[in-house]
Structure formats: structure tokens, C-alpha cells
Structure 1
């Protein structure tokens, strides 16, 4: 293991008065990536802090827009992926801190695990906390887990763990895994370019690789790509009628979904599911338990 692995008791709690503004944090990340403007002040370890914000309420208009963009039915029950959107600015604040060991613009989202302990309704206020753990070596750089926890009245009701890869000048990107024959598709979806801009609007994740052809090219993509968390949400929307009250759903993000494209969704035995392209190459591999 690498440094920066504090236990929960050694993290300093930092209470914030309100949820940070995601737009300002993205601008900070962009400026910090420029030479002479903060890119060289990063520490070798993870920050030993736990950021907290209490009493975060659901914006029902945002929830309705999110449901529409991701394919969920309109409901007062939050989709499993929606608390990730609610608390994302807190995680973003953590990852854009000057002492975070990997620059935000060098991070690739390679995996996400969400645990829903019980249904969450839109009239409930959530207390969020965010911290980073498990900084570890990878053959293309380093990986880190960013943990986001949602609680109601002191009880944890939701937990998300996002795994990011910092490529740090080494070749390669997402772990594509072993090439296999594509499973039989349960559904096929046309993913239009507007998915990038609409999901950015409802989620606050305005990374230009999802919204701009020029921005995508600056990061090595020929055209914009869909957000990984949109892909996960769209798969969960297809499974909505099968979801129990409490579950864990984990995905590994493989090949990006270029915009526009057509993708195939497939159910697998034992709770597995995949999203793949017309040639059978995987975009996402998931498991529900």
C-alpha cells in the first residue's frame, strides 16, 4: 500500500455550511492544471479530512429532469444514483483541494459501487460526508477510492464508492478486460449527443469531454463521450421494476460511450448486466446483489 491511508478515526471532520458550487470547483481544477497555477503543490498522500454537509434537500425539479434524462419513472423515491448527484459537489471539493495527490483533470472514473440500505424519499433531508481512501499503485498510474455517505437522522441510508485512476503520463486508459462474445441484448438504446449536455445540466458534472467536441479532443477522444454515471443510471432504470428495497450495485466502466452511438443492454445470470457496442465490445460491466 501507498501512503495516505488514514483510518476513519484519524480523519479531521470539516463541516461546511452549504454544499459547494460545482461550477467554481471545475474552474479551480482547470486553472490548477495550468503551469504555474497550482499543479505542482500536490502532496504524496491523501488528505486526512472528512468533509461534511448537513440538511441537503432534494430539488424536485432537478429530480424530475434527472429521471427523464436517465430513463427512470417519475417518482418520489430517489433512484440509487441520485444521491451521488446530490453529494457530488462535496466529493469534487475534496478532489480539487491543492493537497489531493492526483489532479482532477488527470482522473478517469473506472468503477462505482452504490449500496442502498433502504428507500429514500424526496421529502427527506440528507447529511453527506466525503473522504478518500485506499490510494494504491496501478500499472498505469495510481488508483483512489472516493467515498460519499448519505445519512438521515444519524442513520446511514446510502453509500457510494467511486474508484478513479490517475494515469500520470502512462499509456492506456480504462481496463477493457477480456474480449468475449456479446450476450444477447435485452434492449438497444440510441444515445444522442444531447445526453452529454443534459446529464451535465442535471448532475453538475460539466467535464468538457462530455459536452464539447473540442474539449473531448483535448483529452484524446474524437468526439464527446457519455458520463459513466449516466450509463450506470440508464442500466438501473432498465432494472427498475426488479430492484429490491436494499441492495448493492457495482459497475466497472470499460470503453467510453461515444456520442452519438447505439448501445446494447443485456441481463446476465446471477444479477449481472452489461452495456456493449454493436461489435460486442463492453462499455460497462455490472452486478446487482
Structure 2
């Protein structure tokens, strides 16, 4: 396993350009640009001594709806890892071209809260390339450590549509979970994707403007999945334990602007939550929180 270390987060702007190149006819098939490996890269990307900029955290909290505390929201370390994710996915040893990948699931385990004044180390690698009935799946594994102790972990599951898939998945994490009914409406502005992109660095065109989203097959720009997960956790913030695992599955995209409904229920130490359409009976996200 090769380890590549970064003193600071890689710039996401050139990485976004690099991500788009494989999708361009002719250019996408050139050596040094084409993806298509049958394995995951034998590579670990890491950043050490990552600190928290209070102003950036304040902007993140404002966009996602978190109340200010002396610890980081459980979704915030994803910000430190995102550029490493992009670096890994744009490496031609990665099995899929980034454009067209679907963020299908996300699992975060917070072993303990990370204080704002703590520095932490971030590590990212890819694993478990596997079949799906409609294509293939791969996981990005991320961890954050403080003083050598792993305090936070994330599994980002990506789906690539294709003809390779044949096998049914074994026990998808939220296969039998349905979104609870809710009464809390979220009215989301058309600029939400741009606001979240400004703090996260995730400037995927599908999130920014209707015209850029249409180029990738969407009628309008869509909300970031990780914003939706973060906003759901913000809605439950005063009920979250210090140590927990939160799984979500992203289902139908949220078109912007739009109105969605948030619902949750708790039973035996497990909280189930979901985001559904305000008018049509469809689910955007379903999630489950269990204490560690």
C-alpha cells in the first residue's frame, strides 16, 4: 500500500476539471485520462494536523443549521476529507470516472466528539469494489485520528451504473427501513447548492445552476446529499449521544428550489429519520442513528 501525504487540502477547482475530462468524447479515452480498472487503487491519502477554522465552521453551521457548540458536527470532518476523496477518484487507477458516479450511501461513526481546538489526522482509501444488480459499487473509507486514536470514521458508498452487475447485494444497511412520516417542512432555495458548495468545495455542476444540471440529465440543480444528511442531524442535534453511528441512503434527488418534509421516530435507542417529498409520495433520504 502506497501512502501519499498532503500538507494542506488539495485545490478542488483543478480536481473538478480533471473529473470532467474522462466524460468528454475522444479526450476521455486518452492515456492518462481514461479510467476503467477492475481493482481499487493500492493507495492511502492522508493529511496530518488538520485544524478547524472557526469562521469556516460558523459558515458551515449556518448553511446546515447546526447550533454553535465547542465540538464539531459529526458531518464536519467530511469537509477535511472531500479534497482527498476527489484526488483519489480522479486518479486513473480508480475504477470509475467521477462524473456519473452516484453517492448512494454514507455511514459516519463518531466514537467521540472532536473539540474545535483539537487537531486531527485524516486518512482516505478505496475498498470493496463489488457487484450491484445495476452496475458496481465501491467504498471510500475515511478516518480521523487524534493522538493516534481513531475518533471518527466514514464509509462513502458510490454507485456506477453499467452492465457488469448481476448479483443482488447482501444485506444493504437500510434495505427494510422506511422514512417516518413528518410534519416539519424544509423550504429550500435555488441557491442552496451554491451556498453549500462555497463551504464544502463540492462544486459539482449538478448542484449549482439549472443550466449546468441539465447538461447532466437533471431538470434543475439538486441539493447535495451530504447537506441533506447534515441538516437532518442538525434537526436532531439536541438528541444525539456523544458516540453514535448514522447511516443514510440517498434515494430520489431533491430538486432546487423545492419543499421537502422531515420526519423522525425513536425506539429502543435507535432513531430513524427521513426526508420525503412534500407533495408526491417519494423518499429523498432515509437514515438511522444508533448509539455506539
Do they superpose with TM above 0.5?
A: yes
CA contact (8 A) 1:118 1:246 kept: yes
Q: Which secondary structure state, in structure 2, belongs to the residue aligned with residue 105 of structure 1?
A: coil
| Structure 2, gaps ≥5 residues long | 166-171
How far off is 1:98 after superposition? 1.2
TM-score (norm 1): 0.90
| CA separation of 1:23 and 1:168: change in aligned 2, threshold 3 A | farther
CA contact (8 A) 1:186 1:267 kept: no
| CA separation of 1:183 and 1:87: change in aligned 2, threshold 3 A | closer
Which residue does 1:6 correspond to in 2?
none
**Aligned mates of 2:250, 2:112 — CA distance in 1:** 26
Query: Residue by residue, what CA displacement relative to the aligned partner does 1:149-175 show, whole Å, maximum 9, x if unpaired?
Result: 11111111111111000114799xxx9
CA contact (8 A) 1:56 1:127 kept: yes
CA contact (8 A) 1:112 1:252 kept: yes
Stretches (4+) displaced over 6 A: 175-180
TM-score (norm 2): 0.89
1:81 aligns with 2:75: yes
| CA separation of 1:18 and 1:275: change in aligned 2, threshold 3 A | same
Q: How many residues align?
A: 275
1:20 aligns with 2:10: yes
| CA separation of 1:269 and 1:243: change in aligned 2, threshold 3 A | closer
CA contact (8 A) 2:177 2:286 kept: no
| CA separation of 1:133 and 1:65: change in aligned 2, threshold 3 A | same
**Aligned mates of 2:192, 2:60 — CA distance in 1:** 11
Map residues 1-289 of structure 1 onto 2, 5 A cutoff. Answer: 11-34=1-24, 35-37=26-28, 38=30, 39-168=33-162, 183-270=180-267, 271-278=271-278, 279-289=280-290
